Amino acid sequence: MTPKIEAFLKDAEKDSPFLVVDLDVVEDRYKRLNSAFSEGHIYYAMKANPAKPILERLNQLGSRFDAASLGEIMQCLETGVDPKRISFGNTLKKKKDIKAAYDLGVDLFAFDSEDELDKIAEAAPGSRVYCRILVNRHGAGASWPLSRKFGCSSAMAHELLMQAKAKGLVPFGVSFHVGSQQLDPAHWAKAISDVATLFDALGEGGIQLQMINIGGGFPARYQEDIPSLEEFVDYIKEHMTASFGEKWPEIYMEPGRYIVAEAGVLQSEVVCVSIKDFAEEIRWVYLDVGKFGGLAETIDESIVYQMVTEYDDQEMGPVIVAGPTCDSCDTLYERTYFQLPLALKTGDKINILSTGAYTTMYASQGFNGFEPPKEYFI
Ligand SMILES: *Cc1c(COP(=O)(O)O)cnc(C)c1O
């Protein structure tokens, strides 16, 4: 927790749940990645947290933006982002949205199928396109895998990028995503090598691709220690050289979680502490925020957040942590061995760390009548 956030939480007696985001941490993470990987261009994956103050700060710093929908593109444009700095990176787009984006000046589109390519060729003629390939199909190493749904085989990418040219588009590059909260850098190595093979094969056919998009996946710190960002970047650069030699194509990257997760703290209140039988030791701790209030990444207990209370120097005991709604899936940690202080009681505050990414945007509109968490930017 940063001193700024600590001061904010001390001063403000605000109704929970709410998320507070320290924009200086966002700036710090952007700068750290930008300086570690100065050869690359950062396309911030907006879906992690598209709040206007975050977009404004990143735009001032020179970031580019990876948008998933026309809505996100509009949010960028309202912030004053140059449409030439936006990538429409979702491989699933309605044709009318592709056309609207193109009319607004966006000229870079992702695809992973012939159907999508045809839509882009018709709705955004002459645009630059990049093909997403399927890597790390089983999501190994990633706490929040998202790789199985997207991407095509390299052989198919080869064929589709040739078709792209024939359809009047600019075959610009290849992208992949190794899975979110990826803790093992080795997954980038294999993917980079696959992309280099594709570059060579297309080059022989007279198509010179210009860009490799290494996606997102850089981790944030939750409960466990993680390798440093620099370890990932150095490793990726080594493998760029191993696969491409000294002459690299343009490198795009799409960090989301890494940029914003650690900038946010979600404050929650304990609604109830209970046991299911007098003989039981394990307590149930119910919070005023759960899966429907933004903690969706606790699905399958994938992301295990660190929770801070005022009694952390006192004796701890095992708990099951759950949200406030009348839905039994709204249990956060049951399999994960989770401990909270024995002194914790109804009405106490719990600060949930590293919640700047993939939280508030996931919150339901008011399931069970619970408002989504408010957001403060400092
Ligand atoms: C979600 C997503 C990202 C961001 O991933 P992080 O793991 O948050 O860095 C980047 N690119 C694409 C295409 C995505 O879908």
Same domain, 137 and 272: no
Which secondary-structure segment (H or E) carries 374?
strand 374-377
Cα 228 to Cα 212: distance, rounded to the nearest angstrom: 23
Same domain, 55 and 194: yes
Same domain, 324 and 252: no
Residues sharing a CB contact under 8 Å with residue 66, sequence separation 6 or more, in sequence order: 43, 44, 45, 46, 86, 87, 89, 254, 256
Atom of ligand 1 nearest to the CA of 182: 7
Average the pLDDT over 73-97 and give the result.
98
Please say which residue of 230, 260, 290 terminates a domain.
260
Could you say which of 152, 272, 326, 329 is catalytic?
326
216 CB near ligand 1 (under 6 Å) = yes
Contact assessment for residue 260 and residue 30, using Cβ atoms and an 8 Å cutoff: no
Quickly state the pLDDT bin for 122 (edges 50, 70, 90). very high
Q: Which residues pair with 243 in a beta bridge?
A: none
Residue bearing tokens 């199909």: 137
Average the pLDDT over 199-223 and give the result.
97
Total domains present in the chain? 2
Q: Is 217 left (phi over 0), alpha (psi -120 to 50) or beta?
A: left
Q: What does the angle CA 217 – CA 43 – CA 267 come to, to the nearest 5 degrees?
A: 60
372 CB near ligand 1 (under 6 Å) = no
- HSE-CB for 304 with a 13 A CA cutoff: 12
Same domain, 28 and 137: yes
Cα 24 to Cα 192: distance, rounded to the nearest angstrom: 32
141 CB near ligand 1 (under 6 Å) = no
Same domain, 253 and 278: no
Given this model, what pLDDT does residue 141 score? 85
Same domain, 232 and 306: no
Same domain, 43 and 140: yes
Quickly state the pLDDT bin for 145 (edges 50, 70, 90). confident
Cα 244 to Cα 208: distance, rounded to the nearest angstrom: 13
pLDDT of 197 > 90? The answer is yes
Q: Residues of the chain with pLDDT > 70: what percent?
A: 99
Q: Could you say which DSSP state residue 331 is in?
A: E
Same domain, 223 and 151: yes
Residue type, 174: V
Domain annotation covers residue 11: no
Same domain, 151 and 93: yes
Q: Could you say which DSSP state residue 285 is in?
A: E
Atom of ligand 1 nearest to the CA of 180: 7
pLDDT tens-place string over residues 236-268: 999 999 999 999 999 999 999 999 999 999 999
pLDDT of 196 > 90? The answer is yes
pLDDT of 46 > 90? The answer is yes
- CATH number at 356 reads 2.40.37.10
Given this model, what pLDDT does residue 147 score? 62
Domain annotation covers residue 251: yes
Same domain, 277 and 255: no
Given this model, what pLDDT does residue 137 score? 79
- CATH number at 252 reads 3.20.20.10
Contact assessment for residue 264 and residue 225, using Cβ atoms and an 8 Å cutoff: no
Please say which residue of 203, 235, 260 terminates a domain.
260
Same domain, 226 and 287: no
Average the pLDDT over 155-172 and give the result.
98
Residue 113 corresponds to which tokens in the numbers above?
A: 């199928």
Lowest pLDDT segment from 70-84, 126-140, 168-182, 344-358:
126-140
Share the mean pLDDT of the chain: 96
pLDDT of 12 > 80? The answer is no
Given this model, what pLDDT does residue 146 score? 72
Average the pLDDT over 57-84 and give the result.
98
The range of the structural domain enclosing residue 42 comes to: 23-260
Mutational test site, ligand 1, from 254, 260, 302, 362, max ligand atoms within 8 Å of CB: 254
Average the pLDDT over 181-186 and give the result.
95
Please say which residue of 260, 290, 322 terminates a domain.
260
326 belongs to the catalytic site: yes
- Please give the distance, rounded to the nearest whole angstrom, from the Cα atom of residue 254 to the centre of ligand 1: 6
Protein residue whose Cα sits closest to atom 3 of ligand 1: 216
89 CB near ligand 1 (under 6 Å) = yes
Domain annotation covers residue 18: no
145 vs 7 pLDDT, higher one: 7
Given this model, what pLDDT does residue 139 score? 80
Average the pLDDT over 59-81 and give the result.
98
Residue bearing tokens 């690299």: 248
> How many residues appear in the chain?
378
Given this model, what pLDDT does residue 86 score? 98
